């Protein structure tokens, strides 16, 4: 399934199982209703994006097995404010190593990118994204579901509360989502709608998101992208730690893999388009 991103822009400040009547009644009595919970989630996501902005992560991806066009990757992954627009953020991936072999002139390419004049940044960043799409499915963005959870995008979806996931925390609630608005935020080939659906796991008390699962397409070739979040103590912020994916690049071919994130470091872009060296 060929997929291209229609919207991967973050606002700054930054079918589904139903509960039985009895369990739904008990859930309402013991926990916030879905509107209150999603308001808390939206506020948490704003804060998450604001804190994660300008952080570069090292991403190490391992496929289930190495084969044609599919190998071990090391990449830089970055969330950054769009130059000239204080309300938009973009994510970028730059593959710097394939199967243990460094790609020429790729080290710190994302960081160096933002030394360029603002008008050149997006053009060059898109070129970096296209380069990386040759190696990794472009929908494999650990923060993609966070886009949908921002308050301005939540009306595009229906959210359905499910059970507490006790193994993730005493107040971690499973919530299913399904996109119901057209045109959809993601587009597939020939500019057709690609509705998204999936599940989030969030704290009822704080709205903190600890896990997301995105599902694209339909059975038996449903693409699944799962992200687990954790804490980076050196920076003191929540970060993606693991991404697991299953997707179908062509009929009869399935690719599974896992990406792990580490070596988080921050840089700052000033209004004069000057970048400080990343902290390591």
Closest of 105, 95, 106 to residue 69, by C-alpha:
95
Beta bridge partners, 40, equal none
Residues with Cβ < 8 Å from 228, sequence gap 6 or more?
210, 211, 240, 241, 242, 243
pLDDT attached to residue 84: 64
pLDDT at site 117: 57
More confident residue, 52 or 190: 52
**Rounded CA gap, 169 and 202, in Å?**
9
Question: What is the reported pLDDT for 247?
Answer: 85
pLDDT of residue 21: 34
Tell me the per-residue pLDDT of 6-19, one tens digit each, with 9 for 90 and over: 333 333 222 222 32
Which residue has better confidence, 276 or 2? 276
CA distance 221 to 254: 8
**What's the pLDDT at 218?**
84
pLDDT band of 86, cuts 50, 70, 90: low
Predicted local confidence at residue 94, as pLDDT: 87
Determine the pLDDT at residue 221: 84
- Condensed to tens digits (0 to 9), the pLDDT of residues 98-146 reads 998 888 766 566 556 655 555 566 676 677 777 788 888 878 899 999 9
**CA separation (Å) from 268 to 84, 121, 174?**
15, 15, 35
Asked if residue 35 has pLDDT above 60, the reply is yes
User: How does pLDDT run across 214-272, given as a tens digit for each residue?
Assistant: 999 888 889 999 999 999 999 999 999 999 999 887 778 888 999 999 999 987 654 34
pLDDT, tens digit, 9 for 90 and up, residues 178-222: 999 999 988 887 888 989 999 999 999 999 999 999 999 888 889
Measured CA to CA, the distance from residue 78 to residue 71 in angstroms comes to: 21
More confident of the two residues 115 and 64:
64
Distance CA 27, CA 82 (A): 41
Residue 122: the pLDDT is 66
Residue 275 has pLDDT above 90, yes or no: no
Comparing 139-143, 151-155, 162-166, 272-276, the range with the smallest average pLDDT is 272-276
> Which domains does the chain possess?
3-265 (2.50.20)
């Amino acid at each position: 399934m060929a997929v291209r991103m229609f919207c991967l822009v973050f606002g700054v400040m930054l079918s589904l199982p139903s509960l039985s009547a009895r369990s739904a009644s008990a859930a309402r009595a013991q926990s916030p209703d879905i509107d209150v919970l999603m308001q808390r989630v939206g506020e948490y996501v704003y804060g998450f994006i604001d804190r994660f902005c300008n952080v570069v992560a090292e991403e190490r991806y391992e496929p289930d097995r190495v084969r044609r066009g599919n190998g071990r990757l090391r990449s830089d992954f970055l969330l950054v404010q769009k130059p000239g627009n204080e309300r938009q953020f973009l994510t970028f991936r730059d593959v710097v190593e394939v199967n243990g072999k460094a790609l020429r002139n790729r080290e710190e390419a994302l960081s160096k990118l933002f030394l360029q004049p603002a008008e050149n940044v997006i053009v060059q960043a898109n070129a970096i994204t296209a380069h990386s799409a040759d190696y990794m499915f472009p929908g494999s963005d650990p923060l993609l579901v966070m886009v949908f959870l921002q308050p301005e995008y939540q009306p595009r979806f229906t959210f359905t509360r499910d059970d507490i996931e006790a193994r993730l925390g005493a107040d971690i609630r499973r919530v299913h989502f399904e996109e119901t608005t057209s045109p959809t935020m993601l587009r597939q080939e020939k500019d057709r709608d690609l509705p998204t659906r999936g599940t989030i796991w969030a704290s009822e008390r704080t709205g903190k998101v600890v896990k997301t699962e995105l599902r694209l397409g339909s059975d038996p070739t449903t693409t699944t992208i799962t992200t687990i979040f954790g804490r980076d103590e050196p920076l003191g912020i929540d970060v993606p730690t693991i991404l697991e994916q299953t997707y179908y690049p062509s009929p009869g071919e399935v690719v599974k893999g896992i990406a792990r994130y580490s070596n988080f470091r921050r840089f700052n872009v000033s209004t004069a388009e000057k970048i400080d060296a990343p902290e390591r």
